[in-house]
Amino acid sequence: MIKIIMHGCNGKMGQVISSLVDDSEDCMIAAGIDPNVSKSNPYPVFNKIDDCDIHADVIIDFSTATAVKPLLEYALVKQLPVVICTTGLSEDMIDLIKKSAKKIPIFFSANMSLGINLLISLVKRASEILSDANFDIEIIEKHHNQKIDAPSGTALALADAINEALDHQYTYKYDRHSERKKRDKKEIGIHAVRGGTIVGEHSVIFAGKDEIIELNHTAMSKEVFAVGALKAAKFLAGKAPGLYNMDHLINQ
């Protein structure tokens, strides 16, 4: 039985994961961490990660960017594996994750959906095939009106995968209305839409002469991310220190 600490347990994703674990026979949530302790849960909830004294095998994090640093400090002291699902992290925080992964196992992915990670592989392959065909590349991502960061981490992961396939020759263009000029051939346009209750949509458009190729992924519920996070937690428990991602999980 894998014992999990749910960091951000009373947020939307934390509650979805808690519900998912209820139906699992090989794992349980031993404790939760959340500034909001008023919600009722079938496990003890602590206001701060440092107050948690419950034994566990792995931590799943769906919190906020500011909560990740104290989480990593706690995990290093306790020598606990961590699945980091929080998005909108700064470069400094990502560097801290990489440094921490030298001492503890950390699973870090821009998106926990298996489908999204398949999309990343597909757009990378498409970029390699179309690299000499003068296709313009645009990425459009859509999320609910409560999402704080823009563009999404997934949109950036898609752009990075494309750029890697194209020998890092491309720049990212976020804001077209600030200047009036034709798009550069060596740019990837990235556009964010925020509205309503959209769970998550990502489209990559390859626009060439007289033909358009479009690859899409639509998340219909938050459960797709919860399933991925739980799979990652089970994968990570007992692993050696290192930085793991969806490629490791898919190819295990």
* Whole-angstrom distance, CA of residue 103 vs CA of residue 98: 10
pLDDT band, residue 208 (cuts 50/70/90): very high
220 band by pLDDT with thresholds 50, 70 and 90: very high
Q: Is 173 a catalytic residue?
A: no
Query: For tokens 């839409």, what's the residue?
Result: 193
Give the residue-averaged pLDDT of 117-146. 94
Average pLDDT over residues 19-41: 90
Which pLDDT score is estimated for 25?
84
Checking if the pLDDT of 49 tops 80, the result is: yes
- Known binding-site residues for (S)-2,3,4,5-tetrahydrodipicolinate equal 144, 153-154
**CA 95, CA 106: separation in Å to the nearest integer?**
13
Average pLDDT, the chain: 93
Provide the pLDDT for residue 132. Answer: 84
Is the pLDDT score of 199 beyond 90?
yes
Options 3.30.360.10, 1.20.1250.20, 3.40.718.10, 3.40.50.300; CATH for 114-219 is 3.30.360.10
Q: What is the pLDDT of residues 78-106, one digit of tens each?
A: 999 999 998 888 999 999 999 999 999 99
Mean pLDDT of 44-53: 94
DSSP designation for 182: P
pLDDT at 39 over 90: no
Pick the CATH number of 2-108+222-250 from 3.40.50.720, 3.40.800.10, 1.10.357.10, 1.10.287.110: 3.40.50.720
Residue 176 DSSP code: S
Please report, for residues 200, 223, 244, the alpha-carbon distance to residue 14 in angstroms, rounded to integers and kept in the order given.
Answer: 17, 11, 21
Q: Provide the 8-state DSSP code for 90.
A: -
pLDDT at residue 213 tops 80: yes
Residues at the binding site are 8-13, 34, 85-87, 109-112, 144, 153-154
Catalytic residue among 147, 191, 239, 248: 147
Among candidate residues 142, 143, 217, 234, the one labeled active-site is: 143
Binding residues for NAD(+): 8-13, 34, 85-87, 109-112
CB atoms within 10 A of CB 197: 8
- The answer to whether residue 173 scores a pLDDT higher than 80 is yes
Query: What pTM value is reported for the model?
Result: 0.79
Beta bridge partners of 29: 4
Res 27: pLDDT? 93
Residue 248 annotated to the active site: no
Write the CB contacts of 167 (distance below 8 Å, at least 6 apart in sequence).
Answer: none
CB 6, CB 17: distance < 8 Å = yes
Per-residue pLDDT band for 194 (boundaries 50, 70, 90) equals very high
Q: Do 114-219 and 2-108+222-250 have the same topology in CATH?
A: no
Cα within 13 Å of Cα(188), Cβ side: 28
Q: What is the pLDDT of residue 23?
A: 82
According to the model, what pLDDT value does residue 233 have? 95
Listed by start position, the domains of the chain span: 2-108+222-250, 114-219
